[in-house]
Amino acid sequence: MTMYRKYDTSKYPVETGGSYASTRGMEGEAPRPFVVDTNAEEEYWREHHSTRPYARDDRPFLEYKPAYRYGADAHTRYPDRSFDEVDSDLRQDWDRFKGTSSLTWDEARHAARDAWQRVKDAAERALPGDRDRDGK
């Protein structure tokens, strides 16, 4: 079963495939929400985690898994803000979100930022124009 996180992007129509679903409905239909395939994201990070500069040999992927999910989820909640703008909010909520991970926010931040950026980049490719006005 595939689990998805959704947020309303009705003002940002999307037509794409892969892990992200189209938000443009049939003519006359309301736009569908932008969708992040959390299973695909987990698979990506499970495969690439060890290549990241913050990955430590004494901390397996499972310690970082909540941080990756938290970062991807945070971008869907704050799509029009930068990671730095919401960092303090994320820090505040990390202890409630991290589950059994022993990572502090300072240790988890890098993985969360990576996941945030990956979702942001995918959304930018899917959404027309420079939605976040970063020149990309």
As a whole number of angstroms, the longest Cα–Cα distance in the chain is 54
The domain ranges of the chain are 36-126
* Digit-coded pLDDT (tens) for 58-79: 999 999 999 999 999 999 888 8
**pLDDT tier, 134 (very low <50, low <70, confident <90, very high otherwise):** low
Of 101, 98, 105, nearest to 59 (Cα)? 101
State the Cα torsion 18-62-3-15 to the nearest 10°: -20
Q: Are 31 and 133 in contact (CB under 8 A)?
A: no
The verdict on pTM exceeding 0.75 is no
